[in-house]
Structure 1
Amino acid sequence: MTDVDIPRRRRGRAARAVASAPTVSLVIPAFNEEATIERCLLAVLAQTRAPWEVIVVDNRSTDGTAEAVRRLARAHPEAGIRLLRQFDAQGLVPTRNAGFAAATGDVLGRIDADSVLAPDWVENVSRAMEDPAVGAVTGPVTYYDVPRFGSLPVSDDLVRRTLWHLGRRRCPFLYGSNMAIRATAWKSIEHAACPDHEDVLHEDIDLAVHLKQTGIRVAYAPRMRAGVSARRLDSSPASFRAYTHRFVATYESHGIDHWTLRAPRHLLQGLFWATRRGRR
């Protein structure tokens, strides 16, 4: 992993932190995200409370992802945008881990390259993390490219809230497009988090399971909102079924066996068919 040479003129720490609020580093894994990364970073730049730093981790991209990040970093040198190269291994887990290792904030915000954060996202994450009992937090997303619904926010808050409530007892839940984990919480589970070399698990659910096993609380923040692309819903029904089966595979790999394991799969299958009709 290398740190690409980008001009970095950070704002003073006093100016970027608000009182004693936890500082938030944003970590964004990216593989061939030229079409989405600029929109993602522009939303980060529009935050009501600036993140401590913004770390984009390029994982062997062959398109213009890196140049798009460099261009925005040059245009906004005060934003603390860093571009890292993680070319040692292909995959989300090693790319995420490289970003976490490089981050220096109290809280590690973890989003995807197609995530578009609400303007008060960092503010809401910081507020949730003011509770020392909270080790990680997740929130709902809206799908910003479902044409049938026009400009209406099509939120999956009900789905995510239901999954989180189930997770409080049986099936721990985090959502990688919209989550944050306290740096100390990550350090406590880093050695145990699954490398998933076969790419059959949900890496965010894996983190949630390890947090629960360690006794670290995961909170749900309905105001911690982000938009994401519904592009996964363009996949075939068979491909999407395989994607949702990762929930069961992840829980079962940790010895969690209960009827509620099927709930996430069924909820997201319902969302798949509902939004798929909306995209026609």
Structure 2
Amino acid sequence: MMPTRSESPLSALEQLASRDLLELEREDYIVRHKVEQLLPPLPYHMLVVIPALNEAEGIQETLMTFTAQTSQDFAIVVVDNGSTDGTQEKVREFAQTHLQERLFLLEEAKKGDGAAKKKGMDQAVLPTVNDIQYIACTDADTQVPSDWVEKFYQAFEHSSADVLSGKINFFGDERINSALYFIDQARAALMRHVKPSLNGANFAIRAQCYVRVDGIEQALTKEGIPLPSSDRHLAYKVLESDGKILHIPVGVLTNPRRYIHHMLKGAPADGTIYDIKFIDTTKNRGNFTILLLREYKT
């Protein structure tokens, strides 16, 4: 039905009020979080944030997967979290020949994956990059498919979801991959039964939702030690604000070391905890050896 003359002005006023509210929320966020402009004006609608800590060996492989994206409407910011292995040099080297106008490097001194993500994600709320509508995240040891950006755009455009999250696949021996996939899916199913969650290596959020829920935070222990659960906390904040999280059929390929590390660092029934180290035995990071360096009782 065509709107009447009395309906049209009201709709326009509502849209204006909504837009003004978003502007006020954004300005408030920038002031409270002391967000500094670190990127130039960006003519893109999606900002991809990649936190990195000592990822010199694989960061260029990760970045290479973005050179063939079916949608080029994105910029990338790699946020180095104190690397000592030449990660920053690898990013700068890559930027000389690829993604020159859309690849940026920032540094974050505060330790933790969440702190690094926050440094990059906060840039998307600044007026100088106000064309940014979506913020996507992946990891520095992860390879995304060629339609990764496009799939996120399509899902946002055809749904009312505030956050999108996709599947995680692992490099490595198929038996290890299958076992980790089963564990990850079981954990994800449990989380979805309680509350929908997301995975830090494969998710995207609307910029206005990011501001509305007051951004991402670095989760810490009582002793101030960074925890790898900032993404899950972000998901909880979205749901608590009546936001929607949608799981979509888009997968990425990542190194399972973080998942193995978190599983083995969890205390088993007898109280034994293992300190572990990973050694990649192939250039494609497909096989690795897990060394149990020491065992101690809690």
TM-score normalised by length of structure 1: 0.70
Over 3 Å counting, the alpha-carbon distance change for 1:191 and 1:58 in structure 2 is: closer
Whichever residue aligns with residue 43 of structure 1, its letter is T
Structure 1 CA distance for aligned equivalents of residues 97 and 261 of structure 2 = 35
Residue 104 of structure 2 aligns to a residue whose secondary structure is strand
Name the residue aligned to 2:123: 102
Residue 55 of structure 1 aligns to a residue whose secondary structure is strand
Number of residue equivalences = 227
Larger Cα-atom Rg: 2
Identical columns (%): 25
Whichever residue aligns with residue 188 of structure 1, its letter is R
Compute the displacement of 1:158 (Å).
Answer: 6.8
Name the residue aligned to 2:201: 177
Compute the displacement of 1:231 (Å).
Answer: 2.3
Structure 2 CA distance for aligned equivalents of residues 114 and 155 of structure 1 = 20
TM-score normalised by length of structure 2: 0.66
Tell me which protein shows more helix as a share of its residues. 1
Residue 84 of structure 2 aligns to a residue whose secondary structure is coil
Q: Any idea what the Cα deviations from partners look like across 1:83-116, whole Å, max 9, x if unmatched?
A: 01112x1111211100001234211101111110
Over 3 Å counting, the alpha-carbon distance change for 1:216 and 1:155 in structure 2 is: farther
Structure 1 CA distance for aligned equivalents of residues 113 and 243 of structure 2 = 23
Compute the displacement of 1:193 (Å).
Answer: 4.3
Q: Judge conservation of contact 2:69–2:149 (CA < 8 Å) in 1.
A: yes
Over 3 Å counting, the alpha-carbon distance change for 1:37 and 1:182 in structure 2 is: same
Matched, 1:229 2:255: yes
Over 3 Å counting, the alpha-carbon distance change for 1:182 and 1:2 in structure 2 is: closer
For residues 1-280 of structure 1, the aligned pairs below 5 Å read 3=38, 13=43, 23-87=45-109, 89-103=110-124, 104=129, 105-131=132-158, 133-144=160-171, 146-148=172-174, 166-168=190-192, 170-190=194-214, 193=217, 195-196=219-220, 197-200=224-227, 202-222=229-249, 224-232=250-258, 235=261, 238-239=264-265, 241=266
Over 3 Å counting, the alpha-carbon distance change for 1:138 and 1:159 in structure 2 is: farther
Structure 1 residues not aligned, in runs of 5+: 17-22, 244-277
Over 3 Å counting, the alpha-carbon distance change for 1:234 and 1:162 in structure 2 is: closer
Q: Judge conservation of contact 2:81–2:111 (CA < 8 Å) in 1.
A: yes
Structure 2 CA distance for aligned equivalents of residues 195 and 166 of structure 1 = 21
Over 3 Å counting, the alpha-carbon distance change for 1:90 and 1:125 in structure 2 is: same
Structure 1 CA distance for aligned equivalents of residues 216 and 264 of structure 2 = 31
Name the residue aligned to 1:268: none
Q: Any idea what the Cα deviations from partners look like across 1:154-178, whole Å, max 9, x if unmatched?
A: 6977766665565555223100011
Whichever residue aligns with residue 72 of structure 1, its letter is F
Deviation larger for 33-42 or 188-197 = 188-197
Compute the displacement of 1:57 (Å).
Answer: 0.4
Structure 2 CA distance for aligned equivalents of residues 230 and 205 of structure 1 = 18
Over 3 Å counting, the alpha-carbon distance change for 1:179 and 1:192 in structure 2 is: closer
Residue 106 of structure 2 aligns to a residue whose secondary structure is strand
Residue 212 of structure 1 aligns to a residue whose secondary structure is helix
Compute the displacement of 1:50 (Å).
Answer: 1.7
How large is the RMSD of aligned CA atoms in angstroms? 3.3
Compute the displacement of 1:131 (Å).
Answer: 3.7
Structure 2 CA distance for aligned equivalents of residues 207 and 67 of structure 1 = 31
Whichever residue aligns with residue 50 of structure 2, its letter is I
Deviation larger for 187-196 or 111-120 = 187-196
Compute the displacement of 1:184 (Å).
Answer: 0.8
Over 3 Å counting, the alpha-carbon distance change for 1:215 and 1:164 in structure 2 is: farther
